[in-house]
């Protein structure tokens, strides 16, 4: 056991020193400009490959190295976990609540409180809600237009779980990959979009 500990800490030290060495002057000055506050620790500035790639204005605009883009989408695709019990749709009423709430993950949020999906911040969903953003496409009639074949259901699950699997620099957070939403919350949002009884599909 001790050996494993030693090995692990050696590996961690190595990773830490290489990432320190790889830090650019910009990253150093940038990192030094922040302090941790509550649940928002400094490790939030350590970017994964996707975030590094999409921090380039050209990549963000859909240009940049197409091979890199493909590799990033593939890596994100590999993170997607289908629902453990094969059940994709939950309760659309709960889904509506999750879509409405933009709470969670800021330094003024407490650890352990459930996050919202913040969906209405960027999407039109139920037309009755007039206060919606437009950074993402309208999802009104989402299921009515697409139906709910297995392919549509699995794609929608994947898109909510990790949007970067389909578009490397999508503006949409990776709700499942970063555990912003639980599996059950994703089921409920799925129902809001795909359940024929959901107000979205009337």
Contact residues for other proteins, defined by CB under 8 A: 26, 29-30, 32-37, 40-42, 44-47, 50-52, 54-57, 60, 105-108, 120-122, 130-135, 164, 171, 173-174, 178, 180
Q: How far is the CB of 92 from other proteins (least distance, A)?
A: 21
8 A C-beta contact, residue 24 and residue 52: no
Q: How far is the CB of 176 from other proteins (least distance, A)?
A: 12
**Least distance (Å) from other proteins to the CB of residue 111?**
13
CB contact at 8 A, 117 and 126:
no
> Which residue lies nearer to other proteins by CB, 41 or 87?
41
- Please say whether the beta carbons of 132 and 119 come within 8 A: no
SS3 40: strand
Minimum distance between the CB of residue 180 and other proteins, rounded to whole angstroms? 6
Please name every residue paired with 40 in a beta bridge, in sequence order, or none if there are none: 37
Which lies closer to other proteins via its Cβ, residue 163 or residue 194? 163
Q: Work out how close the CB of 85 gets to other proteins at its nearest, in angstroms, rounded to a whole number.
A: 26
- CA of residue 76 relative to chain centroid, distance: 10
- Whose Cβ is closer to other proteins: residue 92's or residue 120's? 120
Closest CA to 148 of 194, 113, 105: 194
- Mention every residue, 6+ apart, whose C-beta is less than 8 A from residue 133: 120, 121, 122, 123
Q: Closer to other proteins by CB, 9 or 49: give it.
A: 49
Nearer residue to other proteins within complex by CB, 48 or 91: 48
DSSP assignment letter at 138:
P
């Amino acid at each position: 056991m001790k050996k494993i500990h030693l090995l692990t800490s050696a590996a961690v030290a190595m990773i830490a020193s290489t990432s320190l060495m790889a830090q650019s002057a910009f990253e150093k000055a940038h990192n030094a400009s922040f302090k941790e506050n509550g649940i928002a620790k400094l490790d939030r500035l350590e970017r994964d490959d996707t975030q590094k790639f999409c921090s380039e204005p050209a990549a963000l605009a859909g240009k940049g190295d197409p091979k890199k883009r493909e590799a990033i989408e593939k890596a994100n695709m590999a993170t997607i976990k289908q629902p453990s019990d094969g059940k994709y749709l939950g309760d659309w009423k709960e889904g509506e609540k999750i879509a409405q709430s933009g709470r969670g993950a800021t330094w003024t949020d407490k650890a352990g409180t459930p996050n919202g999906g913040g969906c209405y911040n960027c999407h039109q969903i139920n037309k009755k809600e007039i206060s919606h953003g437009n950074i993402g496409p309208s999802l009104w009639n989402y299921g009515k237009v697409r139906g709910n074949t297995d392919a549509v259901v699995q794609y929608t699950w994947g898109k909510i779980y990790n949007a970067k699997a389909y578009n490397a620099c999508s503006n949409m957070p990776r709700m499942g990959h970063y555990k912003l939403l639980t599996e059950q919350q994703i089921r409920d949002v799925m129902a809001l979009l795909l359940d024929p009884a959901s107000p979205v599909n009337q």
